């Protein structure tokens, strides 16, 4: 009998991760997948565009929880998902990544004794002030199938006493989506639309609360951008949280005065992949973008003190530069001068992670 699976997503980085898994499940007689979108992200540019581009069907259920404090958002997802899980009694709840929707779905499933699969398990930044770190630790502690993207995940879970038989090193589903859609992304005309040429710009995305909800840190980042844009254009597709905080802290004038910094709305996946692939380098605090730039071998300066994705530093094209403008500027100049490390693509980041996940679930469920 085919297994009923509830695939739960909520925020932008979830969509790239679920797409290859949901597609394979839809094409298999062994699974009856249902897709639930919590509505944590709801702007068309943060949600619908990804469903369209990644070929995801309309969600079977849309919970419309929207924005709010951590407790509010998590609780709203839990209340709405509990009804669905009680009605549908799925054989498995599958969650991806580390957002509030991931944790909320996992808690509900665990209390209803429904097995949980966590995609991208085991990542740890070691920084418990990050909401995502709490979501990761708690989700992994109650998951039944922990699918790992890089070796550090296996070590972290071992240290936390998670039994080895629950842990599966399968590679990176985010890279599955990248491999699958790279050709389509390469056909994007975003460079022409923005009037930039190959390697003639850097690409920035910033949205972590530690960076943008704190005026001193946001100021440091803007100071670094101010200096860098004197040497190379910066394309900055701005996350809604960051746009809001720039206005709240009265930094809009500063941003407007940077003539070589182009602030744009968040872009769709194909445009963003094209922008990454053709950039001189990327400035980011995103989790997923550290991985995508590693796969694309594009220099990435990560504006954080730590990363839950150490393989991108150890063998990939990523470097942690923290929040110190002098270091950010200095490393940007190194790259512009043509100096950067040689990098490699991590093990099993080969476009086939979802197939390995499906194989394991087929055997074990
Ligand atoms: C969330 C995730 C973070 C992830 C990021 C990806 C948590 C705790 N955080 O952070 O791990 O890296 O998504 O982008 O789950 N907003 C809009 N439109 C939207 C969505 C959000 O305007 O469609 C604005 C709202 O003002 C909202 C703010 O952005 O309050 C933050 O949204 P939220 O989902 O709470 O957190 P993110 O910063 O997006
Ligand atoms: N991304 C996108 N458009 C943008 C910014 C990011 O399509 O304007 C994609 C990016 O390629 C990656 C994902 O969104 O696949 C990363 O999401 P985000 O940085 O919001 O979350 P994080 O990975 O930090 O949790």
Q: With H, G, I as helix, E, B as strand and everything else as coil, classify residue 187.
A: coil
Take atom 35 of ligand 1 and give the residue whose Cα is closest. 67
Rounded to the nearest angstrom, the distance between the alpha carbon of 227 and the centre of ligand 1 is 28
Q: Is the pLDDT of residue 280 over 90?
A: yes
Q: With H, G, I as helix, E, B as strand and everything else as coil, classify residue 59.
A: coil
Q: What is the mean pLDDT of the chain?
A: 98
Catalytic member of 22, 37, 118, 207: 207
Collect all residues with Cβ–Cβ distance below 8 Å to 225 and sequence separation of at least 6: 204, 234, 236, 258, 261, 283
pLDDT (tens digit per residue) in 24-60: 999 999 999 999 999 999 999 999 999 999 999 999 9
Query: Mean of the pLDDT values across residues 285-308?
Result: 98
Extents of the domains making up the chain: 3-171+349-364, 187-336
Ligand nearest to the CA of 48: 1
CA distance 317 to 228: 19
pLDDT (tens digit per residue) in 128-160: 999 999 999 999 999 999 999 999 999 999 999
Rounded to the nearest angstrom, the distance between the alpha carbon of 19 and the centre of ligand 1 is 20
Element (H, E) at 356: helix 353-364
Rounded to the nearest angstrom, the distance between the alpha carbon of 49 and the centre of ligand 2 is 12
CA-135 nearest atom, ligand 1 = 8
Q: What is the rounded radius of gyration, in angstroms, for the C-alpha atoms of the chain?
A: 20
Residue 53 has, within 13 A of its CA and on its CB side, a CA count of 27
pLDDT at residue 54, rounded to an integer: 98
Q: Ligand 1 within 6 A of 99 CB?
A: yes
Q: Is the pLDDT of residue 87 over 90?
A: yes
CA distance 50 to 44: 9
CATH class of 3-171+349-364: alpha beta
CA distance 271 to 349: 22
CA-285 nearest atom, ligand 2 = 24
Cβ(245)–Cβ(212) below 8 Å: yes
Rounded to the nearest angstrom, the distance between the alpha carbon of 121 and the centre of ligand 2 is 18
pLDDT (tens digit per residue) in 91-115: 999 999 999 999 999 999 999 999 9
Q: What percent of the chain has pLDDT over 70?
A: 100
Q: Identify which of 9, 10, 11, 13 to mutate to test ligand 2's pocket (most ligand atoms within 8 A of the CB).
A: 13
Q: Is the pLDDT of residue 1 over 90?
A: no
Cβ(282)–Cβ(204) below 8 Å: yes
**Residue 37 a catalytic site member:** no
CA distance 325 to 264: 23
Query: Mean of the pLDDT values across residues 267-273?
Result: 99
- For residue 364, the tally of other CB atoms under 10 A from its CB is 14
CATH no., domain 187-336: 3.40.50.2000
* pLDDT grade for 244, boundaries at 50, 70 and 90: very high
Q: Do domains 3-171+349-364 and 187-336 have the same CATH topology?
A: yes
Ligand nearest to the CA of 302: 2
pLDDT (tens digit per residue) in 316-363: 999 999 999 999 999 999 999 999 999 999 999 999 999 999 999 999
Rounded to the nearest angstrom, the distance between the alpha carbon of 342 and the centre of ligand 1 is 34
pLDDT (tens digit per residue) in 176-200: 999 999 999 999 999 999 999 999 9
CA-97 nearest atom, ligand 1 = 11
């Amino acid at each position: 009998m085919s297994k009923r699976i509830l695939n739960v997503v909520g925020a932008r980085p979830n969509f790239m991760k679920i797409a290859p898994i949901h597609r394979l499940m839809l094409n298999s007689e062994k699974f009856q997948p249902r897709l639930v979108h919590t509505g944590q992200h709801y702007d068309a540019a943060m949600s619908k565009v990804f469903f369209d581009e990644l070929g995801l069907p309309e969600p079977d259920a849309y919970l419309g929880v929207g924005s709010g404090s951590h407790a509010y958002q998590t609780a709203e997802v839990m209340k709405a998902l509990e009804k669905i899980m009680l009605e549908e009694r799925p054989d498995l709840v599958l969650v991806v990544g580390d957002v509030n929707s991931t944790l909320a779905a996992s808690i509900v499933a665990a209390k209803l004794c429904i097995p949980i699969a966590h995609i991208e398990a085991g990542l740890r930044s070691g920084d418990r002030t990050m909401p995502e770190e709490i979501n990761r630790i708690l989700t992994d502690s109650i998951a039944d199938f922990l699918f790992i993207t890089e070796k550090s995940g296996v070590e972290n879970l071992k240290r936390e006493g998670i039994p080895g038989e629950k842990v599966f090193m399968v590679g990176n589903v985010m890279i599955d989506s990248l491999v699958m859609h790279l050709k389509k992304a390469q056909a994007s005309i975003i460079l022409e639309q923005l009037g930039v040429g190959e390697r003639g710009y850097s690409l920035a995305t910033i949205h972590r609360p530690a960076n943008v909800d704190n005026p001193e840190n946001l100021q440091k980042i803007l100071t670094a951008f101010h200096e860098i844009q004197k040497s190379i254009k910066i394309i900055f597709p701005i996350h809604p949280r960051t746009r809001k905080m720039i206005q709240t802290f009265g930094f809009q004038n500063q941003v407007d005065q940077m003539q070589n910094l182009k602030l744009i709305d968040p872009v769709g996946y194909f445009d963003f992949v094209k922008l990454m692939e053709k950039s001189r380098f990327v400035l980011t605090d995103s989790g997923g973008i550290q991985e995508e730039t590693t796969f694309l071998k594009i220099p990435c300066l990560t504006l954080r003190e730590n990363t839950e994705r150490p393989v991108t530093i150890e063998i990939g094209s990523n470097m942690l530069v923290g929040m110190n403008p002098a270091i950010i500027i200095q490393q940007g100049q190194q790259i512009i001068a043509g100096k950067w490390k040689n990098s490699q693509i991590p093990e099993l980041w080969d476009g086939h992670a979802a197939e390995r996940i499906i194989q394991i679930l087929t055997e074990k469920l």
